[in-house]
Structure 1
Amino acid sequence: MATLLDYCSLVRSKNAGPFTLTFDFMCHDETTYDALTATGFLSSALFASLYGTAPEDVQVVTHPLALAVKVSLPRPAAQGDLHDPDCYAGRQYAPLMDMQLL
């Protein structure tokens, strides 16, 4: 089974403002980009279940010319909130790294 690192040269999460979390998945090449997007793994349902939000609040945008996929969703806690465990959101991608893609 493959993981995201088999498809992507870069996987990261970060803030997109104080209330939005964004993920970037940049593929090795066109072949791996096509294969990754064909799996349907990076879905709004996946991110909704992992990050406790409604699927309709998750945006998944593919960028074929950049060989990238961007996913944005509401942050579980506002940046800097007392309950914010990751102020810069740089560690939020971690639960995705060990997941097996079909």
Structure 2
Amino acid sequence: MTTMLKDVCRHIRSKNAGPYWVTFDLFFDGPENFAKYHDHPALGPDLFHRLFGADPALVQRFPVPGLEMIKISYARTSAQGGVVERDMHCGQQFVRLLDVALD
């Protein structure tokens, strides 16, 4: 059985982080899963390049052990509110992460 990101997180959200950045908050469902998956290679820059077209060199990861969560941010490929904007506040971007396989 494959473990998906949605199986080890109690909450996953995405949001606008200013006009040039998008950020994701991954709240793991306990210290065991945080320890096991917070630095998992499947959640690396290549994933954000593949799913969102992000420049892998501009993907940043910030672990927050006290909250058992990580924040992953990347630079937008175009500024917020541009002609091609489909989700100005990035509130729906997290959906693409739910089925990311971790095993």
Whether the 8 Å contact between 1:80 and 1:87 is mirrored in structure 2 is yes
Percent identity of equivalent pairs: 33
Q: Which residue of 2 aligns with 1:99?
A: 100
The 2-side partners of 1:63 and 1:94 are apart by 22
Q: Which residue of 2 aligns with 1:18?
A: 19
Answering whether residue 29 of structure 2 is matched by residue 28 of structure 1, we say yes
Any idea what SS the aligned residue of 1:93 has?
helix
TM-score by length of 2: 0.90
Whether the 8 Å contact between 2:14 and 2:91 is mirrored in structure 1 is yes
Whether the 8 Å contact between 2:54 and 2:75 is mirrored in structure 1 is yes
Aligned pair count?
102
The 2-side partners of 1:72 and 1:38 are apart by 14
Answering whether residue 91 of structure 2 is matched by residue 87 of structure 1, we say no
The 2-side partners of 1:6 and 1:52 are apart by 25
Alignment RMSD (CA, Å)? 1.3
Query: Which amino acid in structure 1 is aligned with residue 22 of structure 2?
Result: L
Q: Which segments of structure 1 move beyond 4 Å, counting only runs of 4 or more?
A: none
Q: Which residue of 1 aligns with 2:71?
A: 70
Q: Which residue of 1 aligns with 2:56?
A: 55
Any idea what SS the aligned residue of 2:38 has?
helix
Answering whether residue 6 of structure 2 is matched by residue 5 of structure 1, we say yes
Give the stretch that moved more between structures: 34-43 or 48-57: 34-43
